[in-house]
Amino acid sequence: MSSVFKYIREFYNKEFNLYYFLLILLLLGTVIYLNYWHSLENRFAAGGKTWFSNFAGYWLLYFIPFATAFFLQLFFCKDCSYFKNYWFWIILFLAPAFFSFRVNFNFHQPAIKKIWSVDELQFWLRCINWVVRVFVLLIPVFIIWLIKDKSNQPFYGTRALDSIKPYLIMLLIMIPLLVIASTQKDFLSMYPKAKFLTNLQMGHQKWRYVLYELCYGFDFVSIEFFFRGFLILSLVKICGPHCIIPVACFYCTIHLGKPMAEAISSFWGGILLGIISYNTGSIWGGLIIHLGIAWFMEVGGWLGALLKNK
Q: What is the pLDDT of residue 295?
A: 86
Instruction: Flag whether pLDDT at 5 surpasses 90.
Output: no
Confidence at 206, pLDDT banded by 50, 70, 90: confident
**Peptide bond connecting 259 to the previous residue in cis, omega within 30 degrees of 0:** no
* pLDDT tens-digit series, residues 138-184: 999 999 999 999 999 999 999 988 888 888 888 888 888 777 877 77
Name the nearest CA neighbour of 125 among 71, 196, 222, 221: 196
**With contact defined as beta carbons under 8 Å apart, do 30 and 37 qualify?**
no
Alpha-carbon gap, residue 229 to 285, rounded angstroms: 11
- pTM attached to this predicted model: 0.91
Q: Confidence band (pLDDT; 50, 70, 90) for 307?
A: low
217 vs 66: which has the higher pLDDT: 66
Percent of the chain residues topping a pLDDT of 90: 58
Q: Alpha-carbon distance 49 to 195, whole Å?
A: 30
Q: Is the dihedral of CA 71, 93, 61, 181 positive or negative?
A: negative
Give which of 42, 5, 14, 2 is closest to 244, Cα–Cα: 14
pLDDT band for position 1 (cuts 50, 70, 90): low
Q: How many domains are contained in the chain?
A: 1
Would you give the end-to-end CA distance of the chain in angstroms? 39
For the chain, the three-class secondary structure string (H helix, E strand, C coil) is: CHHHHHHHHHHHHHHCCHHHHHHHHHHHHHHHHHHHHHCHHHHHHCCCCCHHHHHHHHHHHHHHHHHHHHHCHHHHCCCCHHHHCHHHHHHHHHHHHHHHHHHHCCCCHHHHHHHCCHHHHHHHHHHHHHHHHHHHHHHHHHHHHHHHHCCCCCCCCECCCCCCHHHHHHHHHHHHHHHHHCCCHHHHHHCCHHHHHHHCCCCCHHHHHHHHHHHHHHHHHHHHHHHHHHHHHHHHHHHHHHHHHHHHHHHHHCCCCCCHHHHHHHHHHHHHHHHHHHHHCECHHHHHHHHHHHHHHHHHHHHHHHHHHC
Query: Mean pLDDT across the chain, nearest whole number?
Result: 89
Model pLDDT for residues 231-269, shown as the tens digit of each residue: 999 998 899 999 999 999 999 999 998 889 889 999 999
What is the structure's pLDDT at 181?
A: 76
Q: Is 163 left (phi over 0), alpha (psi -120 to 50) or beta?
A: beta
pLDDT bin (cut points 50, 70, 90) of residue 135 is: very high
Contact criterion met (CB below 8 Å) for 86 and 238: no
Q: Residue 87: its pLDDT value, please?
A: 96
For residue 309, pLDDT over 70 is answered with: no
Range of the domain at 94: 2-309
Q: For residue 86, what pLDDT is reported?
A: 95
For the ranges 1-15, 93-107, 258-272, the lowest mean pLDDT is seen at 1-15
Secondary structure, 3-state, 115-136? HCCHHHHHHHHHHHHHHHHHHH
Amino acid at 292: G
